[in-house]
Structure 1
Amino acid sequence: MQDGSAVERFLQYVVIEHHDGEYLFGKLQEVLEANGIDLMDCRGQSYDNASNMSGVYSGVQVRVCKINPLAQWVPCAAHSLNLAGVAAAENCLEAVKYFGLIQAVYNFMSASPQRWAILNKSLNEHAIKLKCLSESDTKWSARADACKAFSTSYKDIKKALMKIAERPKDTPSVILEAKALAEKMELTETAIMCAVWSDLLGNIDRVNRCLQQRGIDVGVVKQHYDALYEYTESLRNDERFDAFQDRAKKMVESIIYADDNRRVKRRKKAFNENDEEEETPESGREKFRVETYFSILYRLLTEIHR
């Protein structure tokens, strides 16, 4: 340690046969002993937040603390943020459908050199090339890049899909798949999800990159988390939702929510009322705003605050 700053040193790769906390702790002890490192000199530990590592009963961190109570465990800030993003993305059906659509578009286009060529020809000169369109379940920088590419080139991707759907030389299954993907992209809910997640993941990715910088300390980590929390909290109002809806208007032909024309609630009146059933319409916008938009933000805020 120089000037009070921790210095990272790589020791070795270790082959493991199991993933339980007891086995991993045994391997850790073997490596430390082989390199002449005394566990009693440890003053901190940090790694990903998987239960076998961070578990308070049988995880590696608690086993280390039993031997050396001064080896305080600090959760990995970057991994914690990753888990927060995963929880928010899996919190509601519309979010799951949106990320599934991005992957489906990438799979469809990349499966054929001809389709990929049509896509690239449809992109305007300012659009982000879609080599990064494939999203990742674990690497949120990849999801951020995918969402940015999808958002920037939204209309161009739809145009490419419609071109493929109109090609007589393609098989019926290809034409139907292209039409289905284009129709999903024309949905109001998809366009709003595109605008929302492009912003959210852009901010999450910027914080995540900062958290992985050399020399960062817990105080700076907290500042980044607080800033992300405040930004996310600032989105929880009608004005910001309307702003995302306005952005969506530029991506689709018209703003029509899927639930706008559905009969969603029926109430039969009491015995002393008229026996006719009363239909209670529910706004598609309100349903999406509450059950999807606010739900995603609330889950992300909850996970960040943990």
Structure 2
Amino acid sequence: MIKNLNETRWSCRTDATKAVVFAYDYIKEALVEISNDLDQKDIVKIQSKKLYESMCQFEVAFYAIFWNYILERFDSTNHILQDPKIVFQTAVNALNSILSFVREIRNEYEEYEKKAKDMSGLKDYAPIHNRKKNVRPSSLNNNQTASTQLLPREKFRSESFISVIDQLTVSLTERIVAYETICQRFGFLNTFEKLETPELQSAANYLVSIYPNDLESSLGNEFIQFSSFVKIYVETRKDNEQ
């Protein structure tokens, strides 16, 4: 079932885009039937016709394919990040992997274009309608135009594909920096029982230097003692199981 994006969570949006991609032609047929159904209200028929006309545009088919791939990968990554038992470094690795995926997409425009053509049967981009602007001629270079007119395909690629990839890259990079900061500060807790005393002391001192008003200077000693407790507990449990 196709869902309204404004009323669903991120994971549900993945299901919605997948439904659109796998039932593109069926959805168009259904919209035609609704728009021609005399039993439907006028507003319903008008909206159905507008949706159908939108789905008859190549750009819409392209975006359906494009966002289906993007949201599917983001959704899978979010499931990893939401695991309450996740290791900090695993979270950083997961985000770096999705960042690498997004960067690779930047060079795969033709592939998505082909998939959109195969799915929709369309191949032409919407023509660009620009109003003529009054441009004051420059005495320095009268032979150059005020702006370069892009072809519909190049305009869509530049403004609606590359720009999205760039924004996703920036947002992911910022998120990775935040996770790396957390990992740098607290990542040692995931390998607590494996660390030697100097490593625990160093990690504790680092935390105290960052949160001097919240943590006491004796934190390192507490970690060292607790590490010994954990090791004794693990060994005792193994002996009891034998």
Output the TM-score relative to the length of structure 1. Answer: 0.50
Question: What code does the residue aligned with 1:224 have?
Answer: A
- How far residue 184 of structure 1 moved from its aligned partner, in angstroms, is 0.8
Query: Are 2:100 and 1:230 equivalent residues in the alignment?
Result: yes
Question: What code does the residue aligned with 1:167 have?
Answer: D
Q: Confirm or deny: 8 A CA contact 1:192 1:244 kept in the other structure.
A: yes
The residue number in structure 2 matching 1:182 is 52
Moved more, 144-153 or 172-181: 172-181
Matches within 5 A, 1:286-301: 286-301=154-169
- Point out the structure with max Rg over C-alpha: 2
Query: Are 2:65 and 1:198 equivalent residues in the alignment?
Result: no
- How far residue 169 of structure 1 moved from its aligned partner, in angstroms, is 3.0
- Structure 1 spans left out of the alignment, 5+ residues: 1-129
Q: 1: CA distance between counterparts of 2:84 and 2:111?
A: 37
Q: Confirm or deny: 8 A CA contact 1:265 1:279 kept in the other structure.
A: no
The residue number in structure 2 matching 1:250 is 118
Which of 149, 161, 169 is the aligned partner of 2:19?
A: 149
Question: What code does the residue aligned with 2:153 have?
Answer: R
Matches within 5 A, 1:1-306: 130=1, 133-136=3-6, 139-237=9-107, 240-258=108-126, 260-263=127-130, 269-270=137-138, 281-306=149-174
Size of the aligned set, in residue pairs, is 172
- How far residue 171 of structure 1 moved from its aligned partner, in angstroms, is 3.4
- How far residue 185 of structure 1 moved from its aligned partner, in angstroms, is 1.1
Distance 1:268 1:209, change over 3 A: same
- How far residue 283 of structure 1 moved from its aligned partner, in angstroms, is 0.8
Distance 1:281 1:140, change over 3 A: same
> 1:197-222: per-residue Cα shift (whole Å, max 9, x none)?
10000000001111122421111001
Distance 1:290 1:279, change over 3 A: closer
Structure 1 residue ranges, 4+ long, deviating more than 6 angstroms after superposition? 272-275
Q: 1: CA distance between counterparts of 2:153 and 2:22?
A: 24
Question: What code does the residue aligned with 1:287 have?
Answer: K
> 1:44-94: per-residue Cα shift (whole Å, max 9, x none)?
xxxxxxxxxxxxxxxxxxxxxxxxxxxxxxxxxxxxxxxxxxxxxxxxxxx
Distance 1:170 1:219, change over 3 A: same
Q: Confirm or deny: 8 A CA contact 1:211 1:221 kept in the other structure.
A: yes
Q: 2: CA distance between counterparts of 1:286 and 1:167?
A: 39
Distance 1:232 1:172, change over 3 A: same
Could you say what secondary structure the match of 2:30 adopts? Answer: helix
Question: What code does the residue aligned with 1:262 have?
Answer: H
Distance 1:216 1:192, change over 3 A: same
Greater fraction of residues in helix? 2
Q: Confirm or deny: 8 A CA contact 2:58 2:122 kept in the other structure.
A: yes
Output the TM-score relative to the length of structure 2. Answer: 0.63
- Structure 2 spans left out of the alignment, 5+ residues: 175-242
The residue number in structure 2 matching 1:7 is none
Distance 1:271 1:211, change over 3 A: closer
Q: Confirm or deny: 8 A CA contact 2:10 2:75 kept in the other structure.
A: yes
Q: 2: CA distance between counterparts of 1:295 and 1:273?
A: 31
Question: What code does the residue aligned with 1:235 have?
Answer: I
Q: 1: CA distance between counterparts of 2:7 and 2:170?
A: 20
Q: 1: CA distance between counterparts of 2:99 and 2:140?
A: 51
Q: 2: CA distance between counterparts of 1:280 and 1:303?
A: 30
